[in-house]
Amino acid sequence: MMKEFKVSPAASSAVPVTFSDACTGCNICAQVCQCDVLLPDTRKGKHPIVMWPGECWYCGACVMSCPVQAIRLEHPLMNRARFIKAFR
């Protein structure tokens, strides 16, 4: 007998992917996500659900695959590069 599992989106303030109103709900981003961070929404025309934000590799595959450029990828503060002038 197969068990049915129910999941709900993770409550996290560090969601790596945000969707704009331009999202058409094509779910291509959920298909190309290497870490399965995004799950397709069962409602037609709705953007995918960010289920496991801590698993994101920040590879940008979801951003590059979006046909309407509706995805924004936010890198964590500790992963952002800051270049300073070198003194010599």
Report yes or no on 10 lying in a domain: no
pLDDT digits (tens, 9 = 90+) for 47-72: 998 888 888 888 999 999 999 999 98
- Burial of residue 58 (CB within 10 Å: 0-12, 13-18, 19+) is middle
Q: Specify if 16 maps to a domain.
A: no
Tell me the three state secondary structure of residue 55. helix
Tally of domains within the chain: 1
For 39, the enclosing helix (H) or strand (E) is: strand 38-39
Q: Residue 1: inside a domain, yes or no?
A: no
Residue 58 lies in a domain: yes
Tell me the CATH number at 46: 3.30.70.20
Give CA torsion, residues 85, 86, 87, 88, to 10 deg: -140
Q: Is 51 within a domain?
A: yes
Domain containing residue 37: 23-75
The verdict on pTM exceeding 0.75 is no
pLDDT in tens, 10-40: 555 567 888 889 999 999 999 999 998 998 9
Q: Indicate whether 15 belongs to any domain.
A: no
Residues 10 and 80: their CA atoms lie apart, in Å, by: 23
